Amino acid sequence: MAIVYQPIGTVHTPYQSPDGMPVQASRSDNAPGTVVLDEAYVEGLADLEGFSHVILVCHLHLARPYRLRVTPYLDDVPHGLFATRAPARPNPIGISVVALERIDGATLHVRGVDLIDGTPLLDIKPWVGEFDEPEQVRLGWLEAARERKRESDDRFCTTGDEP
């Protein structure tokens, strides 16, 4: 069963390659970015500006082929792929929570992006704590490792243009 999606826009960021790119949005020192939606979808942005944060659902087009055991950016020992946020996944879908500063026509101005410039956008959703914020959270291996490492390297991404 093949599921076929089409990009609805493109994410523009200061990061031309994964070297030195922040690991996940919250770590990115509020890096600015823009999300340019295809004109056909602009009507769907109505009322979005009232939300402080949006979830960008993206196709991680530069992700390398996945492996089921990976050493993530945030640790030095391997973990199961689905226990990590590594971009190289069977379906390389990225979820980034970013701050929405303003919307000009088809362009969203955001802060806190952790995506490579040119990343295809699949969806935009408002971030809603009631849906997206659980209670009584445990973080497994990450609790010990979370402070160790802050920047990504190129272990999961190519720097070329292939999909």
Nearer to a copy of itself, 29 or 46 (CB): 46
For a copy of itself, the binding residue among 29, 46, 76, 161 (CB under 8 A) is 46
Based on the shown chain and the rule CB under 8 A, indicate whether residue 160 belongs to the binding site for a copy of itself: no
Q: Work out how close the CB of 104 gets to a copy of itself at its nearest, in angstroms, rounded to a whole number.
A: 15
Q: Tokens in use for 160? A: 């070329």
> Residue 32 or 126: which CB sits closer to a copy of itself?
126
**Residues 72-101 contacting a copy of itself, CB under 8 A:** 79-85, 89-91, 93, 95, 97, 99
Exactly one of 64, 109, 125, 149 binds a copy of itself (CB under 8 A); which one?
125
CB-based burial, 42-64: b 16+ in 10 Å, e otherwise: eeebeeeeeeebbbbbbbbbbbb
Q: Which residues make Cβ contacts (< 8 Å) with residue 24, sequence separation at least 6?
A: 85, 96, 114
Nearest to 23 by CA among 136, 158, 153: 153
Per rule CB under 8 A, is residue 157 in the interface with a copy of itself? Answer: no
Distance, C-alpha 47 to centroid of its chain? 23
CA dihedral for 134, 140, 142, 143, sign (positive or negative): positive
Distance CA 44, CA 75 (A): 39
Q: Are 48 and 127 in contact (CB under 8 A)?
A: no
Minimum separation from the CB atom of position 75 to a copy of itself (A):
10
Task: Figure out which of the listed residues 27, 109, 149, 155 binds a copy of itself, where binding follows CB under 8 A.
Answer: 27
The site for a copy of itself (CB under 8 A) is made up of 1-8, 24-27, 41, 43-55, 57, 59, 68-69, 79-85, 89-91, 93, 95, 97, 99, 112, 120, 122-134, 136-142, 146, 163
